[in-house]
Structure 1
C-alpha cells in the first residue's frame, strides 16, 4: 500500500529560508511542493522520507534565490492490484459505493463488482443515498456505514487533467482506485465474524 519512490528535482530555495540549516529548509520546501499531491504512475505523496543528495546552490542573475538539484525519497500511497484494504463507506448511490481511507476518498466500487445478487433500496437514515443489500441463502446482508469494509483493489487509474470542467460535475480526481467486493471475506467485517 505504501512504497518509497526516489525523485530528482531542481528546487528554487527563497532567500528568507537560508537562515535555516540547508537540509531542513529544503525538506520544508519539498513538503510544500509534493505533500498531498498525486504523481502519475507513482501515487499520492504522503511524506518526504529522506534527502539523498543536495547539489548546486547556484544563484541565477536577477534572481536572488539559490537553486539546488535534490535527490530525495517520498513515501507514496500506491495500492497494488489484488491488495485487500479496509475502508469506510463514504457514500452509496444506485451506481455503486464510494469508500474512504480517511486520507484518500477516491475509491469506487461499481455495481458489477458488488456481491451477486445485490439490490438497493432507499436509505432510511439518509434520503439522498441508497443502501445496498447482498442476498445470500435467503438472508439479507446490508452494506451500511457501521463497519469497516474490506475491498480488493481491482484497478488504479490516473486520468488526464480535463481542459474544461462542467460546474455541476464532481471535482477532478487525479488518482482513482476501483475496488471489488465480489469474493469471500470482502465487504463489511461483520459479515464474516
Structure 2
C-alpha cells in the first residue's frame, strides 16, 4: 500500500532560514510542497523518508534565497493492483459505492463490480446485494460508515495542473468560471475497487454465520 519512491527536486530556502541546518530546512520545505499532494503517475505523497544527496547550492541575482538540487526518497500511497484493502463506505450513488480510507477518499466500486445481483435503492440512496438463500432473497444494504473489504482492480491519474486561462466571450462571462470550477472538482488520483468475489464486501456479511 505504501511505497518509498526516489525523487529529485530543486528546493528554495529563503534567507531567514539560513541559520538552520540545511537538511532540516530542506526537509521542511519538501514536506510543505509534497505532503498530502498527488504526484502524477506516482501516487499520494505522505512524508519524507530521507535525503540521499545534496548538490551545490546557488544564489541567483535578484533572489537572496539559496537553490539546492536534492535527491531524496518519499513515502507514497499507491496500492498494488489486486491488493485487498479495508475502508469505510463514505456514500453511495448511481456511479457505485464510494469508499474512504480516512486519509484517502477517492475510491469507487462501480455497479458491475459489486456482489451480484445488486440494486440501487433510490429512496435510501444505497446499494444492496440481493442475497439468495433457501428461504428466498435477502436485501443486504451497503450503509454509510460500514467497513468494507475490497480489491484494487484499477487506478486512474488525471493531470490537474493549470492549463492556462479559458477565454470567455463577452456575452457569456461565466464560461471561464464554470470551466475552472469543474476542473477543481476532478480527482487527480482515483482507485477502482471490486467486491465481486466471496469474502469481499461488508465485513459484517462474513463475520456472522
TM-score after normalising by structure 1: 0.91
Indicate the residue corresponding to 1:181 in structure 2.
Answer: 195
Indicate the residue corresponding to 2:176 in structure 1.
Answer: none
Shift of 1:123: 5.1
Indicate the residue corresponding to 2:140 in structure 1.
Answer: 141
Q: Note if 1:172 corresponds to 2:186.
A: yes
Per-residue CA deviations over 1:118-150 (Å, capped at 9, x if unaligned) read 1121455xxxxx111101222221111243101
For residues 92 and 172 of structure 1, the distance between their equivalents in structure 2, rounded to whole angstroms, comes to 18
Q: Is the 8 A contact 2:151 2:193 kept in 1?
A: yes
Indicate the residue corresponding to 1:8 in structure 2.
Answer: 8
Per-residue CA deviations over 1:25-50 (Å, capped at 9, x if unaligned) read 00000011111111112100000111
**Structure number having the greater helix percentage:** 2
For residues 176 and 153 of structure 1, the distance between their equivalents in structure 2, rounded to whole angstroms, comes to 11
Indicate the residue corresponding to 1:191 in structure 2.
Answer: 205
Report the secondary structure of 1:115's partner residue: coil
Indicate the residue corresponding to 1:150 in structure 2.
Answer: 149
1:168–1:50 CA distance, 2 compared to 1 (3 A): closer
For residues 17 and 180 of structure 2, the distance between their equivalents in structure 1, rounded to whole angstroms, comes to 40
Report the secondary structure of 1:192's partner residue: helix
Bigger shift: 44-53 or 60-69? Answer: 60-69
RMSD between aligned residues: 1.8
* Rg comparison, structure with higher value: 2
Q: Is the 8 A contact 2:40 2:159 kept in 1?
A: no
Unaligned runs of 5+ in 1: 125-129
Unaligned runs of 5+ in 2: 167-178
1:64–1:33 CA distance, 2 compared to 1 (3 A): same
Q: Show the 5 A alignment for 1:83-94.
A: 83-94=83-94
Bigger shift: 133-142 or 112-121? Answer: 133-142
For residues 81 and 126 of structure 2, the distance between their equivalents in structure 1, rounded to whole angstroms, comes to 27
